[in-house]
Amino acid sequence: MREDQLRAYLRSRVPSASDLTVANIARIPGGASRETWSFDARWIEGGETVERSFIARRDPTASLLESNNELEFDLYTALDGSGIPVPNVHWIERDGAALERPFFIMSRLPGATDARTLVTSPQYADIRPTVARQKAEILAKIHAVDIARIPSLERPTSPASSALHEVDKWERTMRQDTLEPQPVLELAFHWLRRHLPPPPDRLALVHGDYRTGNFLYDQTGITGILDWEMAHAGDPVEDLGWLVIKSWRWAGDDRVGGLCPRDEFVRLYEGAGGVNVDPAALKFWEVFSNVKFAIIFITGTKSVVQGKTPDLLLALTAFVNPGLEAELLELIA
């Protein structure tokens, strides 16, 4: 992403600006479904100096999963003023002519995302309990959102079909993208179909990737919830199943997201107004989440093998699945 591209684009969006400059362009590492770029802009408007910090989210050439930048933009727009901390979005471009591929631009929030630093560094020891509580409280708020406000949200036909809808969707993805037989995932899909959870009372907004590492934080706590590419309507317990999996424990112990024990997080979530979490339903969604994670990596591996991307991160995903398969076999034994 080049300075001249960003400068020309901002000029088209802020035609009253003069002396417009763009600086500090940097690709933010991580995030394998969409490129994230940070940059600062400065201009004169109405005789006043305006300084803004922006994030550009640009579609990649290939990724771990197919995602819809319009949905992410719509979600940020719908959640503005909801009490859920999300960035303000400004512009979306679907044809991608200005920056080579489709993208949208939003404000940059303060804070860092590095999960391991948060859960292991002594400088954050005092705020980890606060972050755990906020993480649970914000998730309860997400699940309380009226999904009618987000018409572009994918949804099953009814609450009763929410679990099967997700199982069918991810099984289709596996069969479409796998390059070799997947005996452990086949076994796991058989288990999932035999252990469907009770349906939720209503369809909720499911973040789909709610974990430590997908929110911004500073010394005050959580400052923003990010990475909504997999959001959809469904069973709210699905989000809890994803955040408890072993891959996101970060600190090397059993703490959820490296922050607190599982039972404590469930208690915090329920106490904040979240749905009652049935242990059997949570186990179902934990199994499902490991399956989903493995399939995301299968998709990434296929992109590399087919020559769609030279991204080293996607190439390395092939080495993660044996650990996920071992976790699955232990869960469904």
Q: Show Cβ contacts of residue 107 under 8 Å, excluding neighbours closer than 6 positions.
A: 52, 53, 54, 55, 87, 88, 89, 90
**Minimal CA–CA distance to 89: which of 74, 101, 99, 67?**
74
As for how many domains the chain has, the answer is 2
The verdict on 96 and 167 lying in the same domain is no
Q: What is the mean pLDDT of the chain?
A: 93
Domain boundary among 63, 89, 107: 107
CA distance 257 to 243: 7
User: 0.85 cut: is pTM over it?
Assistant: yes
The verdict on 97 and 158 lying in the same domain is no
For position 306, what pLDDT does the model report?
Answer: 80
User: What 3-state class would DSSP assign to 101?
Assistant: coil
Instruction: Please give the average per-residue pLDDT across 165-178, as a whole number.
Output: 96
Instruction: Look up the CATH number of the domain holding residue 73.
Output: 3.30.200.20
The verdict on 205 and 325 lying in the same domain is yes
The verdict on 134 and 281 lying in the same domain is yes
Domain boundary among 80, 107, 134: 107
pLDDT single digits (tens) 76-86: 999 999 999 99
Residue 161 clears pLDDT 60, i.e. is over it: yes
> What domain range is 261 assigned to?
115-332
How would you classify the pairing of strands 18-27 and 35-45? antiparallel
Residue 317 clears pLDDT 90, i.e. is over it: no
The verdict on 71 and 201 lying in the same domain is no
Instruction: Look up the CATH number of the domain holding residue 260.
Output: 3.90.1200.10
User: What angle do the packed helices 162-177 and 183-194 form, to 10 degrees?
Assistant: 170
The verdict on 67 and 216 lying in the same domain is no
CA distance 299 to 137: 33
Q: Are 93 and 76 in contact (CB under 8 A)?
A: no
